[in-house]
Amino acid sequence: MLINNDTIIKDSNELIRRKSADVSLPLSEEDKTLLMEMLQYVDESTIEEIAKEKNLRPAVGISAIQVGVPKKMTAVIIKDEEGNKICEYALVNPKIISNSVEKACLSSGEGCLSVVEEHEGLVYRSARIKVKAYDAIRDENIIIKADGYLAIVLQHELDHFKGILFYDHINKDDPYHKEADAQIID
């Protein structure tokens, strides 16, 4: 499947709000291929020359619904400033099994491959989470203990499984409302 900025489903398409279904394990070849193509998109999207050539918008994650497949699969890669991978996941049926009461948000707000228009405001999420999932890269069930930026990214991607977009979390009356004791991540 060709995945680029033209083929990613945008928020104007009602499919983006569709709930995703669990995926059967072991993965079918079709599901594994799609998940690896999603992972490749995320990896290449932050390499300027490749991104320009293939029409990719920079991303740290993508969920299957964003390419029109309502299945609980997501690919996440977080890199440092030099482009080295800090973490990389190709998750199937990820589920948050615990989360902190403490909240966190990105100081710059969030963005999404499926959202073209800018939506300013703070998106509060749990500061720490534990996610249980099958990881196709490692070919095993894993538990991810995430905090800070990774926790926010994972929650953003898992929201896609419920048809929720980041701007649904923004306070409509006061987009930059500061929650007491919330962690602000630069």
Q: Which residues are catalytic?
A: 157
Cα→Cα distances 26→96, 110, 120, Å: 21, 33, 40
d(CA 22, CA 4): 25
Contact assessment for residue 137 and residue 91, using Cβ atoms and an 8 Å cutoff? no
Helices (H), the chain: 29-45, 48-54, 148-160
How many other C-beta atoms can be found within 10 angstroms of the C-beta atom of residue 15?
14
The two three-digit tokens of residue 153, written as one number: 């990214």
Concatenate the DSSP letters of all residues of 28-78 into one string. Answer: PHHHHHHHHHHHHHHHHHTSHHHHHHHT----SEEEGGGGT--BSEEEEEE
Which H helix or E strand runs over 79? strand 73-79
Query: Which residues, other chains included, contact 27 with Cβ-Cβ below 8 Å and sequence gap of 6+?
Result: 35, 92, 136
